[in-house]
Amino acid sequence: MIDKSKTKFLVFLFFALIAFSSKGQELTRKEYIKKYAPLAVKQMQLHQIPASITIAQGILESGDGNSRLAVKANNHFGIKCHGWEGKKIYADDDKKNECFRNYNNALASFRDHSLFLKKYDRYSFLFDFKINDYKSWAKGLKKAGYATNEKYPEKLIKIIEENFLYKYDSQYDKDHFIAQKRSTYMHFNNIKYVLAEKRETYGQIAQELNLKLVRLQKYNDSENTKFLEEGSIVFIQPKKSRCKARLHISKNNETLYKISQKYGVKLKKLLLRNPNLTNEKLKKGIKVILR
């Protein structure tokens, strides 16, 4: 005969272990800072937003990275949709079932946080503050309407000072910022391009550079919506009809598309000049006419 009391106890113990295990996976504040501070510093170098502010907002908005939005949607800053065309997630906030942005990874969330602050005019005055003036930034974010909580500035400042986050602001280098901006774009065949970072998509690059996704895809002869190969060329201007080189000898499994990206030549032009070839993988040693 089955002992019902023992069965109930075992069921209770099972779910208790699951709850304990789940809770054990949560990030501590120290772990959150260690994991995401480098992303905040990188955004500071690129966009002149204090790393201390970015980390503190991430901590506060995501509950040290343990909130549903952070875990399920990589949304560390509670940014709502506001015309967002990407993936979405819904959660209760000021109202029930509100729309929030859903990112592919944490880097996309940190990048979008920077772009969000730079996009809207109401935040523009923040960039007049010095990079180490986290108190003015904290108060300014509340004034600009980032949060409705009246104590939002005090909470950010407390997080920054208790965890010595202001030390990350000292890593800002104005000359490095200028250099970063100058090196954002590279040139080949008189066309501007950038290199894709790890787990980056055309959509993310288009958003960062304030370009329409369809236009960026057209520049690169691609409708790809998945992650790009790290280090791959992404043109941010139309490719040319020709280049200086006349001929290319294919490598094994190389495609006309890869060749068009390598030389900055439109794919349709390569197809016209090489009517005997398609955009399938080529064997090694095939002659491809470039112009």
- Residue 67 scores a pLDDT above 70: yes
Residues in the chain: 291
- Residue 189 scores a pLDDT above 60: yes
Q: What per-residue confidence (pLDDT) applies to 38? A: 92
Q: What per-residue confidence (pLDDT) applies to 17? A: 45
Kindly report the three-state secondary structure assignment for every residue of 41-95: HHHHHHHCCCHHHHHHHHHHHHCCCCCHHHHHHCCCCCCECCCCCCCEEEECCCC
Q: What per-residue confidence (pLDDT) applies to 4? A: 52
Residue 228 main-chain phi, psi, to 5 deg: -85, 155
Between 28-32, 145-149, 194-198, the lowest mean confidence (pLDDT) is in 194-198
Average pLDDT over residues 236-242: 93
269 or 18, which is more confident? 269
- Residue 140 scores a pLDDT above 80: yes
Q: What per-residue confidence (pLDDT) applies to 19? A: 44
- Residue 246 scores a pLDDT above 80: yes
**What DSSP letter does each residue of 118-152 carry, written as one string?**
HHSGGGGGGGGS-TT-HHHHHHHHHHHTS---TTH
Which residues on adjacent β-strands are paired with residue 186? 193
Q: What per-residue confidence (pLDDT) applies to 22? A: 42
Q: What per-residue confidence (pLDDT) applies to 6? A: 52
SS3 219: helix
State the amino acid at position 106 in one-letter form. Answer: A
Between 52-66, 205-219, 250-264, 277-291, the lowest mean confidence (pLDDT) is in 205-219
Q: What is the mean pLDDT of the chain?
A: 86
- Residue 178 scores a pLDDT above 70: no
How far is it, in rounded angstroms, from Cα 78 to Cα 149? 13
What digits encode the pLDDT tens for the residues 200-217? 889 888 887 778 999 999
Q: What per-residue confidence (pLDDT) applies to 52? A: 97
- Residue 153 scores a pLDDT above 50: yes
Q: What per-residue confidence (pLDDT) applies to 94? A: 78
42 or 207, which is more confident? 42
What digits encode the pLDDT tens for the residues 45-64? 888 899 999 999 999 999 99
User: Would you place residue 21 in the very low, low, confident or very high pLDDT band (cuts 50, 70, 90)?
Assistant: very low
What digits encode the pLDDT tens for the residues 71-123? 999 999 999 998 888 899 999 887 899 999 999 999 999 999 998 898 888 99
Query: The tokens of 173 are what?
Result: 């280098």
Model-wide pTM > 0.75: no
Query: The tokens of 193 are what?
Result: 């391009």
Q: What per-residue confidence (pLDDT) applies to 171? A: 85
- Residue 250 scores a pLDDT above 90: yes
Catalogue all structural domains in the chain, each as residue range(s) with its CATH number: 29-173 (1.10.530.10), 184-235 (3.10.350), 247-289 (3.10.350)
Helix boundaries (H) for 145-277 = 152-162, 174-182, 202-208, 213-219, 256-263, 267-273
- Residue 179 scores a pLDDT above 70: no
